[in-house]
Amino acid sequence: MEANTVKKTMLSGIQPSGDLHLGNYLGAIKNWVGRTEAFDCFYFMADLHAITVRQNPADLRRRTLTQLAQYVACGLDPEKNTLFIQSHVRQHAELGWVLNCYTMFGELSRMTQFKDKSAKHADNINGGLFTYPSLMAADILLYQPDFVPVGADQKQHVELTRNIVQRFNGVYGEVFKMPEFYSTKEGARVMCLTTPENKMSKSAPEGCVFLMEKPEDIARKFKRAVTDSDTERCVRYDPENKPGVSNLMNIYAAVTGMSLDEIERAFEGQGYGRFKPAVGEAVIELLRPIREETERILKDKAYLESVYKNGAERAAYVAEKTLRKVYKKIGFVPRG
Ligand code: TYM
């Protein structure tokens, strides 16, 4: 991803359906921070997406605001990044509807996240869960971004968005810019600490490290992290045969900036006993300032409100321009 003199655009979002965890941070947020020199940046709380699964209203509200405070605490300056709540910008729902009509049933049926979630919530396989990817395409395309920094699990949705762009532009001309998926190798797929075959997720809390978690709990989770039953017990990168240790190495690499080779050399001959607490320590030190800053920001409700109000205003301005263009192209009569 090169940054040149003309500012490009970057956009991403996270559902406030659970507390943010290390997977969200390393897979997504870490790649959002420090980009404002080269990019116009839009980051949002995807609350419209969150209700595809039943949410407790008070929890949803609390988590949405906490997530906003965490974005800021992670280093996203609201003066330089447009931070907003998805439901405040009605153009998302409007373009989402339009794009539903340009997304095929077969495409939506193939989405892994839909299959996973409908298996997990068999009593609530609603229309929104199924058409979720066309709303995500709308989130993206309203802002005409060059890059969408997300974890590997979202790549399929970005690919679908690209198909929609091709289909739509094929009929109406160059309306949407083609967005690209962006991720980093170490952070793209953070795995569960207890079952390293699965991705880290809030649904397995013992294998998941939350951004607001206390240092002693983080230390315990890393000490108990499942490593591998091989006899050599050495710190060596081999995702196929040593998924547990390889996951810890990826986490350590993403947090410290060391390469996998450097990590192997640094822990040569020391076994897992030294390595696991070292990863825990590095994560604790990464998260400590984020947690403290989030707690501080959350006390200032007026500040948070000003951030999301300004963000929604800036986002809506850009989103409306795209939506108008789309409505015109498809033949809707302008209201004047
Ligand atoms: P969501 O809310 O499930 O996850 C938010 C971000 O965190 C990343 N992520 C991970 N990365 C690495 N390892 C993990 N274990 C891990 N778990 C989660 C996700 O890849 C994602 O980047 N549909 C999206 C939200 C969304 C969106 C958008 C994203 C809605 N509209 C438009 C980008 C652009 C989702 O469910 O992510």
| Residue 115 appears among annotated catalytic residues | no
- The fourth-level CATH superfamily of domain 205-296 is Tyrosyl-Transfer RNA Synthetase (1.10.240.10)
| Residue 199 appears among annotated catalytic residues | yes
Closest ligand 1 atom to 11 CA: 34
Q: What is the pLDDT of residue 230?
A: 72
Banded pLDDT at 106 (limits 50, 70, 90): very high
How would you list the strands of the sheet with 81-85, edge to edge?
A: 81-85, 39-45, 8-14, 147-149, 180-182
Q: What is the pLDDT of residue 129?
A: 96
Judge if the beta carbon of residue 200 lies within 6 A of ligand 1: yes
Q: Looking at the chain, how many residues does it have?
A: 336
Q: How many other CB atoms sit within 10 Å of the CB of residue 6? A: 6
Task: Please say if the pLDDT value at position 5 is more than 70.
Answer: no
Please tell me whether the overall predicted TM-score, pTM, comes out greater than 0.85 for this model.
yes
Amino acid in the structure at residue 324:
R
Q: What ranges do the domains of the chain cover?
A: 6-188+300-330, 205-296
Question: Which pLDDT tens digit goes with each residue over 28-50?
Answer: 999 999 999 999 999 999 999 99
Q: What is the pLDDT of residue 271?
A: 83
Mutate which of 22, 71, 132, 154 for ligand 1? The one with the most ligand atoms within 8 Å of its CB, which is 154
Which CATH number is 6-188+300-330 given?
Answer: 3.40.50.620
| Residue 117 appears among annotated catalytic residues | yes
Three-state SS at 187: coil
**DSSP symbol at 86:** G
Q: Any residues with CB less than 8 A from the CB of 163 and at least 6 apart, and which?
A: 107
Judge if the beta carbon of residue 40 lies within 6 A of ligand 1: no
Angstrom distance (rounded) from CA 79 to CA 64: 19
Q: Any residues with CB less than 8 A from the CB of 256 and at least 6 apart, and which?
A: 282
Residue 316 has which token pair? 């809506």
Is residue 175 within 8 A of residue 169, CB to CB? The reply is: yes
